[in-house]
Amino acid sequence: MKLLIDTQSFIWFFEADNKLPLSVRTVMEDIDNSLVVSIVSFWEITIKVSLQKLTLSGNIETLINNSISSGFEILPVNPAHLITLSGLDFFHKDPFDRMIIAQAISENISVISSDSVFKSYPVQWIWRS
Protein backbone atom coordinates (compact mmCIF):
# COMPACT_ATOMS: atom_id res chain seq x y z
CA MET A 1 0.00 0.00 0.00
CA LYS A 2 1.19 3.52 -0.75
CA LEU A 3 1.02 5.80 2.31
CA LEU A 4 1.30 9.58 2.44
CA ILE A 5 2.64 10.52 5.88
CA ASP A 6 1.50 13.86 7.29
CA THR A 7 4.04 16.26 8.76
CA GLN A 8 3.54 15.50 12.43
CA SER A 9 3.59 11.72 11.95
CA PHE A 10 6.69 12.09 9.79
CA ILE A 11 8.48 14.08 12.51
CA TRP A 12 7.44 11.60 15.20
CA PHE A 13 8.72 8.74 13.06
CA PHE A 14 12.17 10.25 12.47
CA GLU A 15 12.51 11.66 15.97
CA ALA A 16 11.52 8.27 17.46
CA ASP A 17 8.82 10.05 19.44
CA ASN A 18 6.53 7.85 21.54
CA LYS A 19 3.56 9.95 20.39
CA LEU A 20 3.61 7.82 17.24
CA PRO A 21 1.72 4.69 18.29
CA LEU A 22 3.59 1.43 17.86
CA SER A 23 0.76 0.16 15.65
CA VAL A 24 1.28 3.10 13.24
CA ARG A 25 5.07 2.73 13.32
CA THR A 26 4.59 -0.95 12.46
CA VAL A 27 2.48 -0.03 9.43
CA MET A 28 5.13 2.48 8.34
CA GLU A 29 7.94 -0.05 8.79
CA ASP A 30 6.12 -2.78 6.86
CA ILE A 31 8.31 -3.42 3.80
CA ASP A 32 5.19 -4.07 1.70
CA ASN A 33 4.16 -0.42 2.11
CA SER A 34 5.58 2.48 0.10
CA LEU A 35 6.08 5.62 2.16
CA VAL A 36 5.56 9.07 0.69
CA VAL A 37 6.17 12.47 2.24
CA SER A 38 5.06 15.71 0.65
CA ILE A 39 7.53 18.46 -0.12
CA VAL A 40 4.94 20.56 1.70
CA SER A 41 5.91 18.80 4.95
CA PHE A 42 9.53 19.87 4.52
CA TRP A 43 8.32 23.41 3.81
CA GLU A 44 6.21 23.39 6.99
CA ILE A 45 9.06 21.96 9.06
CA THR A 46 11.49 24.58 7.72
CA ILE A 47 9.12 27.39 8.65
CA LYS A 48 8.42 26.03 12.14
CA VAL A 49 12.13 25.50 12.87
CA SER A 50 12.87 29.06 11.64
CA LEU A 51 10.17 30.44 13.94
CA GLN A 52 11.52 28.30 16.81
CA LYS A 53 8.17 26.51 17.11
CA LEU A 54 9.85 23.17 16.42
CA THR A 55 13.17 21.69 17.43
CA LEU A 56 14.66 18.71 15.60
CA SER A 57 17.58 16.51 16.50
CA GLY A 58 19.20 17.50 13.18
CA ASN A 59 18.71 20.13 10.51
CA ILE A 60 16.33 20.10 7.53
CA GLU A 61 19.05 18.86 5.17
CA THR A 62 19.71 15.88 7.41
CA LEU A 63 15.99 15.14 7.66
CA ILE A 64 15.60 15.23 3.87
CA ASN A 65 18.65 13.04 3.33
CA ASN A 66 17.52 10.57 6.00
CA SER A 67 14.06 10.33 4.49
CA ILE A 68 15.50 9.61 1.03
CA SER A 69 17.97 7.05 2.36
CA SER A 70 15.12 5.41 4.30
CA GLY A 71 13.20 4.91 1.07
CA PHE A 72 10.64 7.71 1.35
CA GLU A 73 9.39 9.11 -1.94
CA ILE A 74 9.18 12.91 -1.85
CA LEU A 75 5.96 14.06 -3.51
CA PRO A 76 6.20 17.43 -5.27
CA VAL A 77 3.22 19.75 -5.69
CA ASN A 78 1.80 19.61 -9.20
CA PRO A 79 -1.08 21.38 -11.00
CA ALA A 80 -3.52 18.50 -10.38
CA HIS A 81 -2.97 18.88 -6.64
CA LEU A 82 -3.75 22.59 -6.84
CA ILE A 83 -6.93 21.92 -8.83
CA THR A 84 -8.06 19.41 -6.19
CA LEU A 85 -7.13 21.87 -3.42
CA SER A 86 -9.27 24.56 -5.04
CA GLY A 87 -12.36 22.39 -4.63
CA LEU A 88 -11.78 21.21 -1.05
CA ASP A 89 -14.30 22.05 1.63
CA PHE A 90 -12.87 24.01 4.55
CA PHE A 91 -13.25 21.32 7.20
CA HIS A 92 -9.53 21.78 7.80
CA LYS A 93 -8.08 25.28 8.04
CA ASP A 94 -4.34 24.45 8.10
CA PRO A 95 -2.92 25.20 4.63
CA PHE A 96 -0.21 22.53 4.86
CA ASP A 97 -2.64 19.80 5.85
CA ARG A 98 -5.09 20.93 3.18
CA MET A 99 -2.40 20.48 0.53
CA ILE A 100 -1.48 17.05 1.89
CA ILE A 101 -5.18 16.11 1.73
CA ALA A 102 -5.41 17.39 -1.85
CA GLN A 103 -2.33 15.39 -2.80
CA ALA A 104 -3.74 12.24 -1.21
CA ILE A 105 -7.00 12.66 -3.09
CA SER A 106 -5.28 13.44 -6.41
CA GLU A 107 -2.82 10.57 -6.10
CA ASN A 108 -5.32 8.14 -4.53
CA ILE A 109 -2.95 7.53 -1.61
CA SER A 110 -3.93 6.60 1.96
CA VAL A 111 -2.89 9.10 4.65
CA ILE A 112 -1.29 8.46 8.01
CA SER A 113 -2.20 11.27 10.40
CA SER A 114 -3.21 11.68 14.03
CA ASP A 115 -5.53 14.49 12.91
CA SER A 116 -9.07 13.09 12.76
CA VAL A 117 -10.25 16.01 10.59
CA PHE A 118 -8.69 14.07 7.69
CA LYS A 119 -11.69 11.72 8.01
CA SER A 120 -13.92 14.55 6.73
CA TYR A 121 -12.35 14.22 3.28
CA PRO A 122 -12.55 11.42 0.70
CA VAL A 123 -9.22 9.84 1.66
CA GLN A 124 -8.39 6.60 3.39
CA TRP A 125 -7.27 7.82 6.83
CA ILE A 126 -5.02 5.51 8.82
CA TRP A 127 -4.43 5.97 12.53
CA ARG A 128 -4.41 3.18 15.06
CA SER A 129 -3.72 4.19 18.62
Q: pLDDT of the chain along its 129 residues, tens only?
A: 999 999 999 999 999 999 999 999 999 999 999 999 999 999 999 999 999 999 999 999 999 999 999 999 999 999 999 999 999 999 999 999 999 999 999 999 999 999 999 999 999 999 976
Write down the pTM of the prediction: 0.95
Q: Determine contact, residues 96/7, Cβ cutoff 8 Å.
A: yes
Q: What are the domain boundaries of the chain?
A: 2-126
Q: Determine contact, residues 68/74, Cβ cutoff 8 Å.
A: yes
DSSP 119: G
Domain 2-126 fold: Rossmann fold (3.40.50)
DSSP 73: E
Q: How many other CB atoms are there within 10 angstroms of residue 82's CB atom?
A: 13
DSSP 49: H
